[in-house]
Amino acid sequence: MTNRHRCMEDGCDANAIECVIPGGSQHEDVPEWFCPTHAVTAGYCGGCGVFIAGGDDRFDCGASPFCEHCREADDDEEDTDGD
């Protein structure tokens, strides 16, 4: 066995990222593993796997499946191109 994790989504065999709920007292120490696509589907950031579902800004404008941190990183990259 390798250290590689597979997506928990049934039928999905993609490499997974660790999905965690920040400060989650209900699900502590029970990380889930999803590929970026299914992480987003399950309510996690597609970039780092932090849980973002239920946040006021999630899909606020049909927009970002990423947490603020990842959005900032993405914006920063775009800035280097357009600013």
Residue 70 near Zn ion by CB under 5 A: yes
Please say which residue, 17 or 83, places its beta carbon nearer to Zn ion. 17
Opening angle at CA 70, ends 29 and 35, nearest 5:
55
d(CA 43, CA 67): 10
Residue 20 near Zn ion by CB under 5 A: no
d(CA 82, CA 6): 36
For residue 55, the minimal CB distance to Zn ion (Å) is 11
**Residues at the site binding Zn ion, with contacts judged by CB under 5 A:** 7, 9, 12, 14, 35, 38, 45, 47-48, 67, 70
